[in-house]
Structure 1
Amino acid sequence: MANSPLLAPLRRLRRNAVVLAGCATLGYLLLPNLVVLLFSFNDPAGRFNYQWRAFSTDAWTDPCGVADMCGSLGLSLRIAVLATLIATAFGTLAAFALARYRFRGGGLANALIFLPMAMPEVVMAASLGTLFLNMRVGFGFTTILIAHVMFCLSFVIVAVKARVMSMDPRLEEAARDLYAGPVQTFWRVTLPLAAPGIAAGAMLSFALSFDDFIITQFNAGSSTVTFPMFVWGAAQRGVPVQVNVIGSAMFVIAVAIVLGGRLTANRRRKS
């Protein structure tokens, strides 16, 4: 009975239960992206792109066919790139300071880092809006950039700090024993070891900044429209197919970057 052929599939299922559960979870997470990709090739009959009608590549050949959409997309990309660069630079420095040094108030600083991550976005958005109003700062590109850098910093610090704390300090000590100076040790040893955490924090910052709506809505003013704000406004009268095209393109680019990084890491490990 123990060797019954009927029990073999059950044993295989039990051995691969974790893999199957992981694949099912990944498929569940990717399903909305696949739907967006599918409907980017749709030719809807009306204003709403909710039902499949016919295959068409018109939206892909003319992604800027909707007025003001590419302008808002360019604005979101500029803000996301600048916010990522600023947040990654300052967040990396803060992560090294918190992970490598002990100073008065360090425990409080570590606790405060998680506040922007745990705080509801609408609370942060209203607080920043009140701050800018009291300081009489005009709403627009600058206020959006400051707000995005503020909430991206925490994610960069957490990602880089986790990487720095897992680094083996003996590698840097070995570099110094081999007469490498502080600058050479940093560029040749420390920075390459911390690079995965820095890259993860930068990618997370870019995605959060590009995707943000609530904080941007409170701090954008009346004349500045980012891509998420454009999509929200377009949803009131029908989302154009070009929105699916932009979303699909961003998804494909993100997957390509992740796969490229994974392949590069595998090559380096084998070599």
Structure 2
Amino acid sequence: MKKEVKVTESALKEVIDALGGAFQAQAEEEHYEACAKYIEEHGEHLHNPEHFDLFVNSDSAQLREVLVRNLLKVDKNGNPIEYSRSQLSELMFLYTNYGFMKNHLYRIIIKYEGHGCSADKTRYILALHQENIVTGNSPLFKDTSNYYVPDLGQADKWMAFTKSLHHLFYGNTEDYLKAHTELIAQLEKEVKELKEKQESIFTSSPLYQGHEQRNGFGKEIYQVYTFQNNLETLEIHQHDNGGWGYVLLVEGKQYGYAEQKEGLFPEWVTSLFKLLNEIE
């Protein structure tokens, strides 16, 4: 019998911290000599954060801007291309602050759609944003069955929020706060509707036994819906964002993906899962 290994939150944090330390050590090794020389020559001035921003951050920013400005003069095939002043400004910000934009989108996607394919969804939204800048067209989410397309929210709300990050970066918060408020309101509305549909499916089942709250990782609190059919027990864990998982016991044995793939799930469980997948 396989021993079940439970990954605790503290153990997961230790692994992540160790990986972060390894990457930092590699960066230190690669750039140590150059940094040491730079600090030796200019360290007296660079201890002032204002001077550091002026001499280091500004220089690297100018280098990136010159690189992007020249890059955008031609397309991928080397053909000359011209952008309006507004287009060039938006594109340069996208290229030079991609990480900043990505992080803002990524955090929202993780909160409302979970970690699965979150990086792909973030990448897709930023690709649509670039397309919007270049063509001027208002993009729509194409085939939403694709794993990289967000399940929640409309394309125009995501685009407005993404565009507002340019203003936020330079301290202009009005457009950002408006776009953020509208996007979050839509996501909350869609999540609420999804959870209500799920609850209706749960409570209408003749095998439904009740539900309770439980604590998950961090501060998360999720709902656990229990179903019983003789020696078959199913728990469905409904998360704040409408995502769900399950624990299925058949005669005391836990069933998972392997048993589902082999067609060993009880018919009533398969039917319940089908109803849940149809409303997503």
Q: Which category of TM-score, normalised to the shorter sequence, fits these structures?
A: under 0.3
Give the structure with the larger strand fraction. 2
Relative contact order (C-alpha < 8 Å, sep 6+): which is higher? 1
Give the structure with the larger helix fraction. 1
**TM-score normalized by structure 1?**
0.21
**TM-score normalized by structure 2?**
0.21
